[in-house]
Structure 1
Amino acid sequence: MQAVHSPDCSKIHTGYSEPVRTLCGSNNLLQPGRLLAPTSIKGRTIVQTCSRCFTQSPDQARICPSCGANLKEYSTTAVAVQKMRDNPRVVNLRLVVSHDSCPACQAVEGTYTKDKLPTLPVEGCSHANGCRCFFEPMLDEIYP
């Protein structure tokens, strides 16, 4: 059994695949797949979060390891994009990429209609920190 700091220590947790005991005087066990802070697994930063149980997963994960939700539908990014699609004030969505993004992400940068959006994380993203792309809504009306 591996040991890590508990969440009350404000320390970053590392990825683990078996139950772990906390080091900070707490006897709480952290369950496998239940990563509690942004972290790395084999050199990749975890960027997907399940909107149902808030478990964090690597870009490649399609199913939440904790609750079994489909991350293409229930990741926090997918839920936010669906809310923007449903908002009548949003005309288009702009896919924004970082200045140091990988070639796969640079290739999909641009403005999209609500029905022609690429999925996030970008398939084939090779950046060491994972896919950091995000959508910005483009509104037809801006209220004061």
Structure 2
Amino acid sequence: MILKRNEPDAAKRARATLSAIYAWLIGNGRAEPNPVVGTIETAQRRSAAGLLSPDEIKAALKACRDDDFGRIVRSRTRTGQRREEVAGMTRAELDLASGIWRLPGQRTKISLLLDVPLSRASTCSQRSSPVLAGRSCSVGAPPDSRDS
């Protein structure tokens, strides 16, 4: 039924959940055979990493406006960095002459200083993006305003 609606990921999750329930029932002596054993696993539609296809990337970039959100999306596709890392990017982290974004360890998932190479398009974009009064972030909201 789930597969008929073209939802292979949902079908895979449903099968795994049902199998886990029966494993618990069997472990507690409330069931004997696991009816999921021997059923066919569905293929996953895309990798767990959630990678976008080239056409999806083109569509997303085409839909971007010239606002903070659009700049964040474009910066993410150019650098491969996480949303919060890009949204919190500051001018002080950017070395546009060298084409390097020096991301401090306290803002990375791996807690290490990260030097992110910037493409020519990223460097030009950062040079031309407006500097707004009272904002330290290059794109997105200042970190302290996101909490309120």
What TM-score range do you get, normalising by the shorter chain?
under 0.3
TM-score between both structures, scaled by the size of structure 2: 0.24
TM-score between both structures, scaled by the size of structure 1: 0.25
Q: Is the helix fraction higher in 1 or 2?
A: 2
Q: Higher Cα Rg: structure 1 or 2?
A: 2
Q: Is the strand fraction higher in 1 or 2?
A: 1
